[in-house]
Amino acid sequence: MSPQPRTLKILNLVSLLLLVASTLLVFFYAPTEKVMGLVQKVFYVHVATAWVGMLGFVVAAVLAVVYLRTKDLKWDAIGLAAVELSLVFFFVAVVLGSIWARPAWGTWWTWEPRLTTAAILGMIYLAYLLLRQGIEDPVRRARFGAIYTILGGLSVPLTFLSIRLFRTIHPVLIGSGGGESMGMTDEMLHTMFFHIAAFTVIFITLFWHRIRLAQYAEKVEQRKLQVMQ
């Protein structure tokens, strides 16, 4: 096993510090929301994890195109890492959103555009993992995975649009676009953006670790083949 590069070690430490700092901000810097009370605090992590989850999926879609162009399996491994990691963050975001939605909307789940699109997006990437599982040849697996990621990336905006034609109750945070907007104080905004930045760094750190794991898995695979021969 090769030791972790210096930058990664630093990133580990920075991620940990950022996680602690963002938690402290939530409890000691951001004011408690008047109407919703303490439960609103879950929102900072919700937004950050959702953002990071989306980021990973966008990265995966870009890597899919890069893979089809270059045919270098390295990009496929990195794309898979992005999808897996994003799914975890995405799941966290949905669960946290649910926790927030119960007191705020009075229900754990509602068929609202963003929620429904999120669920469909999750299903698409689960299907992506199932598709990969059914293929043994690594080159074909990479190719089909890339195609499916691209098709998924094309259909998700249309899914959102199709459900958006119904009315939405999800609060629109930034910019206008119907729906009730949440009145946020400056402290709240600072906390939110700090979270988004912090989770992006944490995501990059985990992403790096996951890519290293893929490299090790590849090595194990090669050793296995050597032993079998």
Dihedral over alpha carbons 30, 201, 205, 12 (to 10 degrees): -60
Q: What is the DSSP annotation of 88-138? A: HHHHHHHHHHHHHHHHHHSSS----HHHHHHHHHHHHHHHHHHHHHT--SH
120 is a site residue for another protein (CB under 8 A): yes
Nearer to another protein, 21 or 151 (CB): 151
Tally of helices (H runs) and strands (E runs) in the chain? 6, 0
135 is a site residue for another protein (CB under 8 A): yes
Pattern 47-86, binding to another protein, x per CB under 8 A? ---------------------x------------------
The SS3 of residue 180 is: coil
152 is a site residue for another protein (CB under 8 A): yes
For the chain, the first-to-last Cα distance in angstroms comes to: 23
162 is a site residue for another protein (CB under 8 A): yes
- Min separation Cβ 137 and another protein, Å: 9
Binding site for another protein (CB under 8 A): 68, 120, 123-124, 127, 130-131, 133-136, 140, 143-144, 146-148, 150-152, 154-155, 158-159, 161-163, 165
